[in-house]
Each structure stands twice: as structure tokens, then as C-alpha cells.
Amino acid sequence: AQSVSQHNHHVILSEAASLELGCNYSYGGTVNLFWYVQYPGQHLQLLLKYFSGDPLVKGIKGFEAEFIKSKFSFNLRKPSVQWSDTAEYFCAVTEEGTSYDKVIFGPGTSLSVIP
Amino acid sequence: DTGVSQNPRHKITKRGQNVTFRCDPISEHNRLYWYRQTLGQGPEFLTYFQNEAQLEKSRLLSDRFSAERPKGSFSTLEIQRTEQGDSAMYLCASSVGLAGGPETQYFGPGTRLLVL
């Protein structure tokens, strides 16, 4: 069965530090990839997505992610984090050919940014 | 606000009682999804609707769970004879629902259920 793993359960960074959150998936076919963010007390929001084309995708708030097919990875990056980036981050995938609609989420990475 | 809305936002119930949650999707969206999220985990897919038709159900959706979308607009998720293990956040999402392509799902704030 398809699954999504995220490398870190909890990350703590100081403001202005660089961020990289790891995400790997276990499906060998064509996938669509997402990063969602959940700020404290708010609902899930889309940060960025990859459907096709340039494997380096840019999202909101200065985030970007790179799809590396050979590594089954879709890592999230930000060069300089802010206190307001404190949130839970979820990597997610849908697989092409079966159902676009069944989103498989990773377990999430909790990011705490210290001022 | 024209996003996905869910009611109630919180529900506390006693074991064995029935509960019903409502989801109102973004108005032009044809697809509607239900997920469940427990503490420390990502959301898990439960079921989805294309208009009023329920097209896929997860094995997580036991026979105590039923979802409807009678007119292709809002949806309800009912849990009968609740158990403590049903305690979770129940999330609703919607997407445009055009044929033949990946889509972005937009999530509501969720209904947090606590079964005592």
C-alpha cells in the first residue's frame, strides 16, 4: 500500500535559520505531491503542489519543494524561517491511474521557530 | 468567507450515542471528501463524493459510519453507537471535480469529537 514518511517528528529552529523537511513516498508510479501547513488553531492550508513540469516548485510564504523522482522524495525548504512559520507541516500524495482523490498524508512534522 | 465550513466545531458525547456532523463545501466544487485525524497523525481518507454519488469508501469507514450528500451540496457524516476510539478530528475537504486530472483539495476547520 502506498505510504508517505516524513523524516522528523519535531524540528526546532531559531529565526533566520534555514529549513529542510524531508518527505518520501512509497509508490512507483506517477504521483502528485503536496505540502500542507496547519498553523496553530487554523485549518489545513495548501503550501505548494507538484503535478508535472519543473520539479522545483515554489509556494506561498517563501517555501519551495523539489521533486526527485529517483529518490521518491519531495523535500520542503525555506532559506530563512520566521517565528510565524511555527506550525505542523504535512506532506501528501495522490497517485495517478487509480484515484486522484484519495490523498495519502504523512504523519506530519511539527516546526517550532524560536524568536 | 467562501471556504469549506463544518459544524459543529466541537462535539462531546457519551459512548453509545449517535452524532452527526455537517460539511458545506466551496459552492462551485463538485467533489467532497471526509478525513479523520488523530493526535500526532496526518489525516486519513474516509470517503468521497462526486456530486451526490459516494464513489469510494475506506476500510476505516465501519458500518457504524454513514455519509450522505443528498443534493450534491452539503454532506453529513453520522457515527452510530460511538466508541471512545472514534475520538478524533473529522475533516471535510472539497475540490472542483473536473474530469480527468489531479486536483487540489481545500480543507475545512474540522469537527473535533470527544467520546467519553
Over the stretch A36-67, which tens digit does the pLDDT of each residue have?
999 998 889 999 999 999 999 999 999 999 99
Per residue in A75-102, pLDDT (tens digit) is 999 999 999 999 999 999 988 766 667 8
Quote the pLDDT of residue A38.
94
Does residue A2 belong to the interface with chain B, where contact is any CB pair within 8 Å? no
C-alpha–C-alpha distance, residues B83 and B5, integer Å? 25
CB pairs under 8 A between A and B: 58
Residue A95's alpha-carbon distances to A102, A106, B95, in angstroms, are: 8, 14, 16
* Predicted local confidence at residue B81, as pLDDT: 97
Model confidence pLDDT, tens digit, residues B41-66? 899 999 999 999 998 888 888 899 99
Mean pLDDT by groups of 10 residues along chain B of 116 residues = 89 97 94 93 92 88 92 94 96 85 88 97
Nearest chain B CA: its distance from A110 CA (Å): 9
Q: Which of A30, A88, A99, A103 to mutate to test the interface with B (most CBs of B within 10 A)?
A: A103
Say whether A100 and B103 touch across the interface (CB within 8 A): yes
How high is the pLDDT of residue B7? 97
Alpha-carbon gap, residue A101 to B31, rounded angstroms:
9
pLDDT digits (tens, 9 = 90+) for A16-43: 999 999 999 998 788 899 999 999 988 8
Given this model, what pLDDT does residue B57 score?
87
